[in-house]
């Protein structure tokens, strides 16, 4: 029988988390796997701002005000901070149920639904809760094996349930949910201001230089700056500003993009939104100024993993080999006690024959061999006695009488 040695390995929880997320910096950064569009976002923002700082800002700082590049730099830093904060944070991923928890939930569902006839579709797995006098349905997630909290949904790209799920944004490379929605909104808002700012002062720069040296000469001095900057700002202006306006509308109603697309609170039943305070200011304060909820993943927690492997074999002192002579020859000899515990009594080991014990020697004289160091005495020849002969013993007895 081979020995098995159990070793314990210390790992972080983020290394064992399911889903389609990537982690960096020992679990501190959490993103989706599809990050190509996120890199495009970085390139467009940094490229446009670099051209603006390199060609327009020196002229505008001299001819208009030195505060123009300073304000643009602060706005650029704020946009990058909000983008990275949105992209690198946990959006509110909910942990999946453990094996015991999933089994318990399955038993509860089967007990509540009863026996379903063969061929009949089982009823939907939902639970009803009451929020602000309004019935809200909790849906069961077959992937995470949990009943999702209100306003949570499963992201098919990240393969995780996200609390207060808004949408998955490829431009930031992450889901937008309960823990990073405010940073996403501040990113779109600040990016809209930065786009308008750069687009406006690009036009001002062209006008000022055209007055001095003409429009054609101005384009000839900077052939690639104006077309790239103006085109990027023009197309970005409509999309980003429109996205900011749409999310401003949702915040005023305390509603998510997912709820608006599905029509959760504006369907045929005209169900009222139980999360709205019926006040725009209160809804904005709750979304933008509410508490920052901690992550429930605890992804940097230490875990102990037990791994089994072959252990180093030690030389045994005495083992049972089932009569294998090749193995018995390598074992050291053992000492056996032959003295009985009580006089005229044998121990159980002595009473049972052993396969390894040699056969006992016979006690008959014919079976005993003479010692090799002593020569046997020569045999004496005796003649047979005839009638009337007397032995030496008989003669001595007669002389005594």
169 is catalytic: yes
127 contacts: CB under 8 Å, gap ≥ 6: 137, 138, 147
CB 207 within 8 A of CB 320: no
**Which of 57, 169, 175, 233 is labelled catalytic?**
169
253 contacts: CB under 8 Å, gap ≥ 6: 273, 276, 283
The greatest distance separating any two alpha carbons of the chain, rounded to the nearest whole angstrom, comes to 180
What whole-number distance in Å separates Cα of residue 125 and Cα of residue 138?
9
Tokens 């020859």 identify what position? 329
Instruction: List active site positions.
Output: 169
């Amino acid at each position: 029988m081979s020995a098995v040695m159990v070793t314990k390995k210390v790992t972080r929880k983020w290394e064992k988390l399911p889903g389609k997320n990537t982690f960096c910096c020992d679990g501190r950064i959490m993103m989706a796997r599809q990050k190509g569009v996120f890199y495009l976002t970085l390139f467009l923002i940094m490229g446009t701002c670099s051209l603006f700082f390199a060609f327009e800002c020196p002229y505008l700082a001299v001819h208009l005000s030195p505060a123009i590049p300073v304000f643009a730099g602060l706005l650029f830093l704020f946009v990058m901070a909000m983008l990275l904060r949105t992209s690198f944070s946990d959006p509110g991923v909910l942990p999946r149920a453990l094996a015991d928890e999933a089994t318990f939930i399955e038993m509860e569902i089967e007990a509540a639904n009863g026996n379903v006839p063969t061929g009949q579709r089982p009823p939907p797995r939902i639970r009803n809760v009451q929020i602000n006098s309004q019935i809200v349905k909790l849906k069961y997630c077959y992937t995470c094996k949990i009943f999702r909290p209100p306003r949570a949904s499963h992201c098919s790209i990240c393969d995780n349930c996200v609390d207060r799920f808004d949408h998955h944004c490829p431009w930031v490379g992450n889901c937008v949910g309960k823990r990073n929605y405010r940073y996403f909104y501040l990113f779109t808002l600040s990016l809209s201001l930065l786009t308008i700012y750069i687009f406006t002062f690009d036009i001002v720069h062209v006008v000022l230089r055209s007055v001095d040296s003409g429009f054609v000469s101005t384009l000839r001095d900077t052939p690639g700056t104006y077309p790239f900057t103006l085109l990027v700002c023009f197309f970005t202006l409509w999309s980003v500003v429109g996205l900011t306006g749409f999310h401003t509308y949702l915040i005023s109603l305390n509603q998510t993009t997912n709820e608006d697309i599905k029509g959760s609170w504006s369907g045929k039943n005209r169900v009222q939104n139980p999360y709205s305070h019926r006040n725009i200011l209160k809804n904005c304060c709750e979304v933008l100024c509410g508490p920052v909820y901690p992550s429930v993943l605890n992804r940097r927690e230490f875990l102990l993993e037990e791994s089994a492997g072959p252990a180093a074999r030690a030389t045994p002192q005495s083992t049972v080999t089932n009569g294998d002579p090749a193995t018995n020859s390598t074992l050291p000899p053992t000492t056996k006690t032959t003295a009985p515990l009580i006089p005229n009594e044998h121990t159980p080991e002595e009473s049972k024959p052993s396969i390894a014990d040699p056969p006992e020697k016979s006690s008959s004289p014919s079976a005993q061999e003479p010692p090799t160091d002593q020569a046997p005495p020569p045999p004496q020849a005796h003649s047979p006695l005839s009638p009337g002969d007397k032995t030496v013993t008989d003669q001595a007895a007669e002389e005594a009488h």
